[in-house]
Amino acid sequence: MTVDWRGPARPLPAGPWQRGQEWMTRAACTAPDVDPAWFTVEESAPGAALQIAKAKTVCRACPVKLLCRIHADETGEYGVYAAETYTERTRRLARWRRLQHDLDLEASA
């Protein structure tokens, strides 16, 4: 049996993200000394690498990093989430889709 995790009907494990986004209030990026612009800078903008590096440093120590990653994967929002840029995240998800496709082909052979 193949599980398709890409569709809207896929089951999610029980967790706080299903009740809303209360978990976001515990995110490290909401600290007063953290600049929100670090997380939303255009990746190709001048100086973006430094801002993205700062955002990733904050993310790596975040207590809700897993919930943040799930949120980013589910919504496809632009920005740094769970220490991944939008580009890094879309590449990771594309790799997962290719792997899923290959597994589907193997299973049907």
In a domain, 74, yes or no: yes
Closest CA to 75 of 3, 1, 2, 12: 12
Q: What 8-state DSSP symbol labels residue 26?
A: G
In a domain, 7, yes or no: no
**Position 56 pLDDT exceeds 90:** yes
In a domain, 13, yes or no: no
| Structural domain count, the chain | 1
Q: Which two tokens stand for residue 67?
A: 């919930």
**Over pLDDT 70: what percentage of the chain?**
82
Average pLDDT of the residues in 3-27? 59
In a domain, 58, yes or no: yes
pLDDT grade, residue 59 (50/70/90)? very high
In a domain, 11, yes or no: no
Average pLDDT of the residues in 82-96? 94
In a domain, 54, yes or no: yes
pLDDT at res. 23 = 86
Average pLDDT of the residues in 70-92? 93
Residue type, 33: D
> Model pTM greater than 0.85?
no
In a domain, 14, yes or no: no
In a domain, 47, yes or no: yes
**Over pLDDT 90: what percentage of the chain?**
62
Q: Residue with structure tokens 């943040």?
A: 68
- Hey, how many other C-beta atoms are within 10 angstroms of the C-beta on 24? 15
CA angle centred on 89, ends 56 and 58, rounded to 5°:
15
Rounded distance between C-alpha atoms, residue 40 and residue 93, angstroms: 20
SS3 81: strand
Domain that holds residue 39: 24-108
